[in-house]
Chains A and B, each alone.
Chain A
Amino acid sequence: DQQVKQNSPSLSVQEGRISILNCDYTNSMFDYFLWYKKYPAEGPTFLISISSIKDKNEDGRFTVFLNKSAKHLSLHIVPSQPGDSAVYFCAACLSGAGSYQLTFGKGTKLSVIP
């Protein structure tokens, strides 16, 4: 049972335009969500996160939106740059003490075309 779903395996966007990456989850107990970015031959790096008490979190060109009723979150990158080309993983967890595990989606490969 896949609890975190990224239904688009790949996405191509023109440089300067907006990239929107989507993620759905099924476990209503998840209360903290994260996005990781991964370049080939490197480990994933943390990008941005959001708590379930918020519906938006912004960090520079990156904004994450959370719609709890729809169990959906999205990552917006504006403007997109060629260096943003990578695989993006959505992850979710329970934020209370003793929660060690992140559940990851399968990833979306973003290609930003110059």
Chain B
Amino acid sequence: DVKVTQSSRYLVKRTGEKVFLECVQDMDHENMFWYRQDPGLGLRLIYFSYDVKMKEKGDIPEGYSVSREKKERFSLILESASTNQTSMYLCASTPWYSGANVLTFGAGSRLTVL
């Protein structure tokens, strides 16, 4: 089974702090994604990457950046955390192939910004 691991399950940070959320997948998937989930808003795509050092903006990239230095690792960075970034963050991956993508998600990182 594909495993997507998010190292931090719960984080509490202060406004203005820099926050790193790490995600690692172990199935050599090309594509990796960061979503945030908020009640009543569903899952919204922040950024995705289809290759090492490649990144594409999703629907809500403002206030976030990403890093993909190795194929298995995709990091989400909040340069200066704000209270409206309090959310559940979900990382996902999928292989590259011609067809529909079934995302495999990690367990999530719940971030609280005070």
Q: Interface residues, chain A, CB within 8 Å of chain B?
A: 6, 9, 32, 34, 36, 38, 41-46, 49, 51, 89, 93, 95-97, 99-102, 104-107
Nearest-CB distance from A59 to chain B (Å)? 13
* A102 with B106: CB separation less than 8 A: no
Q: Interface residues, chain B, CB within 8 Å of chain A?
A: 4, 9, 31, 33, 35, 37, 40-45, 48, 50, 56, 58, 90, 92, 94, 97-108, 110
In angstroms, Cα B100 to Cα A51, docked, is 9
* A100 with B101: CB separation less than 8 A: yes
In angstroms, Cα B106 to Cα A95, docked, is 23
Given A43-B90, A44-B90, A95 and B31 touching (CB < 8 A)?
A: no
The residues of A that contact B105 with a CB separation of less than 8 Å are: 36, 43-45
* A101 with B90: CB separation less than 8 A: no
In angstroms, Cα B33 to Cα A36, docked, is 16
Q: Which of B35, B37, B94, B99 contacts A95 (CB 8 A)?
A: B99
In angstroms, Cα B44 to Cα A105, docked, is 9
* B102 with A49: CB separation less than 8 A: yes
* A95 with B103: CB separation less than 8 A: no
Extra inter-chain contacts (19) besides given A43-B4, A104-B43, CB under 8 Å: A32-B100, A34-B100, A38-B37, A43-B90, A43-B106, A43-B108, A44-B43, A44-B90, A44-B105, A45-B105, A46-B102, A49-B102, A51-B100, A97-B97, A100-B48, A100-B50, A101-B58, A104-B44, A106-B41
The residues of B that contact A45 with a CB separation of less than 8 Å are: 105
